[in-house]
Structure 1
Amino acid sequence: RFLCLGKSLRGKSLFSLYSSDGRRMRPIATRPMTDAESYFYERKAIESL
């Protein structure tokens, strides 16, 4: 399983969970990020600049 933190086209912070069989990725679930996840995402985004 893999996770992805990101923003939607409307700017909402999203947490997504995926699975992979080696050939394709399948989404399992997507939900809004918690405040802690959003803080982590924003901090890492600034560090990568």
Structure 2
Amino acid sequence: MNFDYFPWTNPTRRKLNMALFLYFTKFVFCTIRVQKLTIVMNGCFNYEVMKL
């Protein structure tokens, strides 16, 4: 097990994890908002997600 992975042992990793967490949270909120808008937008967004 690589202990560098844990945020409390690596300050740089902690900042990176925080940035990724915030980005992912924004991404999820955008997905929910898009799904509420229209079925067409929902389909387009799901297609983008599947490509990732």
Q: Same fold, TM exceeding 0.5?
A: no
Return the structure number with greater strand share.
1
Superposition TM-score, scaled by structure 2 size: 0.33
Q: Which has the larger radius of gyration?
A: 2
Higher relative helix content: 2
